[in-house]
Structure 1
């Protein structure tokens, strides 16, 4: 059973059928999508050094634009300890630069949340809470975040956290998945935001 089915329980079947298909990802299989980011925004110019540094770890990046081609690939695999993990690969093709935004998700069944390990290598993770809207869309909200140093975890103060809001849906009229992401900091404001659409493709 996929980590998302485990997390959502019976609510998983309230998702739009195409979202159910997308997130019901067996171990050893991948979902691949291709589409366009209609808008990508970042924060103020003073954040550019931080965003440029983050790009080295396939996390955030400083570029912005409209109608940016992108691909998304989700792969479910089993870790050596027997847990299932979903590897997220998001690639954005700007005119003069290709950027990545990658993550590794596992489930914390005791707390009923997903741990979202961001970047490669992952120096921290964020708790994620999933819920299904009455229209069958998937909403994701961030919670507490922690630095990871070897086997040690250090809580990140709230004023340093990224506050994440994600909504994914499916447009039956145009037969596309829709996605919107907003990442902010309580002090710095917007770090990154994007919205776009994509279709499932075979690699």
Structure 2
């Protein structure tokens, strides 16, 4: 079994920088987790009217409403098998913003050749991800269709009512560090949220993810 990113990217996975291949090769078959620690040189948000939206997302660890520079952060990628038998990888980020810890929870599963990114403590939002590799071996990730699930309630967000995230992650050989740059834009209202930073990674042998990183509820619908 290959990792979900290798499955989703197909032959393009081999075009990733070797360090990115290892980082996004995390899965049950690899038997290891990737733990990154570093600094976000900037955490930004859009105009004042975005704050209530970001604050609402904070309640379920979906968005970060604060801003700052040189913000310490940690990202933990652990593979595990969820209650529905799906291979899952955690993408849990934690930020220390002037002594206030903020957390952004995400867990990813493979649905066919598509990666679905569940956001939040209860996997309320399911987001399709489009993946690509650029000429420098960096990973490019763009969010696509989004769906909301809560009990019997299920509906698809029209893109005009939501933002689209674009992420680029690369490895700098001179620095020996990973670089990440994410921005969320609305097609009409412009920039909503973003961050940029660098980090180091360590890989540790694992057979499961810690309970503290798993969502409180798993959603079977993709």
> What TM-score results when the alignment is normalised by the length of structure 1?
0.93
Alpha-carbon distance in structure 1 between the residues aligned to 2:129 and 2:69: 28
Instruction: Give how far 1:151 is off.
Output: 6.0
Aligned to 2:149: 148
Alpha-carbon distance in structure 2 between the residues aligned to 1:125 and 1:70: 24
Instruction: Give how far 1:149 is off.
Output: 2.8
Q: Could you tell me which of 100, 123, 129 is aligned with 1:97?
A: 100
Do 1:160 and 1:186's aligned partners in 2 also have CA atoms closer than 8 Å? Answer: no
Aligned to 1:63: 66
Classify the secondary structure of the residue corresponding to 1:53: helix
Aligned to 2:13: 12
Q: Could you tell me which of 51, 56, 60 is aligned with 2:54?
A: 51
Q: How many equivalent pairs are there? A: 201
Task: Give the CA RMSD over aligned residues.
Answer: 1.6
Aligned to 1:195: 196
Structure 2 CA distance for partners of 1:36 and 1:140, relative to 1, 3 Å? same
Within the alignment, does 1:160 sit opposite 2:155 as a pair?
no
Structural mapping, 1:99-114, within 5 Å: 99-109=102-112, 112-114=113-115
Deviates more, 1:164-173 or 1:60-69: 60-69
Classify the secondary structure of the residue corresponding to 2:135: coil
> What TM-score results when the alignment is normalised by the length of structure 2?
0.85
Within the alignment, does 1:3 sit opposite 2:4 as a pair?
yes
Instruction: Give how far 1:46 is off.
Output: 2.0
Alpha-carbon distance in structure 2 between the residues aligned to 1:119 and 1:184: 19
Alpha-carbon distance in structure 2 between the residues aligned to 1:167 and 1:113: 18
Alpha-carbon distance in structure 2 between the residues aligned to 1:202 and 1:158: 37
Do 2:33 and 2:203's aligned partners in 1 also have CA atoms closer than 8 Å? Answer: no
Classify the secondary structure of the residue corresponding to 1:201: strand
Alpha-carbon distance in structure 1 between the residues aligned to 2:32 and 2:65: 32
